[in-house]
Amino acid sequence: MGKVYLEFGNHACAKAAIRAGCRFYAGYPITPSSEIAEKMAELLPKVGGKFIQMEDEIGSMAAAIGASLAGLKSMTATSGPGFSLKQENLGYAYMTETPVVVVNVQRQGPSTGLPTQPAQGDVMQSRWGTHGDYQAIVFSPSSVQEVYEETIRAFNWAERLRQPVILLIDETIGHMRERLAEPENVEIWNRKKPSLPPEKHLAYKPEEDDVPAIPNFGEGYRFHVTGLHHGYDGFPTTDPKLVQEFMERIQRKVLRHKDELLKYEEYMLDDADILIVAYGSVARSAKYAIKEARKKGIKVGLFRPITLWPSPEEKIYELAKNMKCVLVPEMNMGQYVLEVERAVKGASEVHRINKACGELIYPDEILRFLDKFSPLTV
């Protein structure tokens, strides 16, 4: 095991980014994510990387994409309002297949909302925020340790599939100090290189894995990048066949790795007849509530998706179909519950606890719901 110490969530994110090979950060100050930018400003020049505080959120997203095209692993971090501002250029990264990691340390919205109290209100925005169709990859850590691990995983998948990966952190986790054990060895993936010489290479021609080997600027492959629909050569096209093929491919390149992308925790599910689906900081309250409920004889367990998107819908269905009911507590007015309902397909009742007032969901609130199912009351 590597170094073990007390670490702050947002700093763990910055350190893990450097460890993953991130060498470019562009950002704009916004609470509760600013500590990521501050840490990157300190660390990046020490490892020969570049940090820039841009003039706005839109520019930060743009600069991170530009730097990635020039060959550096790139990142930006923000929070609610900033995440909204980044959406257009986030779509540009999906369209141009540019690897980039976007961290959103969520706060209570809509709009300026409650700066800066916790919320999980950006779950659907992280999936559908920019216009058009794409497959979002979104990870939601629920501890400082997991922030570290998921940041590295985010970079790996961004580079491998050449698209944005979003790290959706709750304010609670970003601003928490907790034990961090830096792993001794981490697996690092890098974007693939073209195998053909420049005169034969087509920048946007997909390879066997549905991912094109897009070169970096300055490496001798002169090519064109555009947010317009484009053919294999990267130049604009309106050919319906090529456009449809592209649209199908950018979904497929993610979904074909779904099993590998999905990461989750199952907690006390073996004999459970009540299923809680919770993620991020709420999963911590859920675990506490489960321990208490079990003392009363309530057979309840937790399914905690770490990969929110693509969603573990098959897994949720398999678990839910044998349950008396499913409970989805969330710090929003009901977002991931919609996905859970879709996954469950009516095989079980789905209940929700929604709190969107800047307060955490406390274990007691989950317990009160579970008490209704206690052997003493049923």
Euclidean distance between the first and the last CA atom of the chain, given in angstroms as a whole number: 48
**Binder of other proteins out of 179, 224, 256, 368 (CB under 8 A):** 224
Secondary structure of 299-349 in HEC code, one letter for each residue: CEEEEEECEEECCCHHHHHHHHCCCCEEEEEECCCCCHHHHHHHHHCCCCE
Cβ 218 to other proteins shortest distance, Å? 5
Residue closer to other proteins by CB (options 43, 261) is 43
Residue 220 found at the interface with other proteins (CB under 8 A): yes
Collapse the DSSP code of 177 into the 3-class scheme (helix H, G, I; strand E, B; otherwise coil) and give the result: strand
Q: In sequence order, which residues have a C-beta less than 8 Å from that of residue 370 and are 6 or more positions away?
A: 274, 289, 293, 298, 300, 327
Interhelix angle 313-320/336-344, nearest 10 degrees: 60
Residue closer to other proteins by CB (options 74, 79) is 74
Residue closer to other proteins by CB (options 30, 62) is 62
Residue 231 found at the interface with other proteins (CB under 8 A): no
Residue 225 found at the interface with other proteins (CB under 8 A): yes
Single-letter code of the amino acid located at 165: V
Residue 193 found at the interface with other proteins (CB under 8 A): no
**Binder of other proteins out of 19, 21, 38, 71 (CB under 8 A):** 71
Residue 78 found at the interface with other proteins (CB under 8 A): no
**Binder of other proteins out of 218, 291, 349, 368 (CB under 8 A):** 218
Cβ 360 to other proteins shortest distance, Å? 36
Please, which contacts does 282-288 make with residues 24 or more away whose CB atoms are closer than 8 Å? Answer: 282/120, 282/170, 282/329, 282/330, 282/331, 282/360, 282/361, 283/142, 284/142, 284/143, 285/329, 285/360, 285/361, 285/362, 285/363, 285/365, 285/366, 286/329, 286/363, 286/366, 288/363
Residue 104 found at the interface with other proteins (CB under 8 A): no
- Please give the size of the binding site for other proteins, defined by CB under 8 A: 42
Residue 263 found at the interface with other proteins (CB under 8 A): no
Residue closer to other proteins by CB (options 24, 373) is 24
Residue 194 found at the interface with other proteins (CB under 8 A): no
**Binder of other proteins out of 28, 83, 92, 134 (CB under 8 A):** 92
Q: In sequence order, which residues have a C-beta less than 8 Å from that of residue 368 and are 6 or more positions away?
A: none
Residue closer to other proteins by CB (options 40, 69) is 69
Residue 17 found at the interface with other proteins (CB under 8 A): no
DSSP calls for 93-138: HHHHT--EEEEEEE-B-STT-BTT----TTHHHHHH-SSS-----E
Cβ 52 to other proteins shortest distance, Å? 6
Cβ 81 to other proteins shortest distance, Å? 16
Query: Cβ(287)–Cβ(302) under 8 Å?
Result: yes
**Binder of other proteins out of 72, 326, 327, 360 (CB under 8 A):** 72
**Binder of other proteins out of 81, 227, 334, 358 (CB under 8 A):** 227
Residue closer to other proteins by CB (options 186, 202) is 202
Cβ 127 to other proteins shortest distance, Å? 21
Q: Name beta bridge partners: 303.
A: 266, 277
Q: In sequence order, which residues have a C-beta less than 8 Å from that of residue 275 and are 6 or more positions away?
A: 269, 300, 301, 302, 303, 319, 320, 323, 325, 326, 327, 348
Cβ 69 to other proteins shortest distance, Å? 6
Residues at the contact surface with other proteins, assessed by CB under 8 A:
23-24, 26, 45-46, 48, 50, 52, 54-56, 58-60, 62-72, 74, 88-89, 92, 217-220, 222-228, 235-236
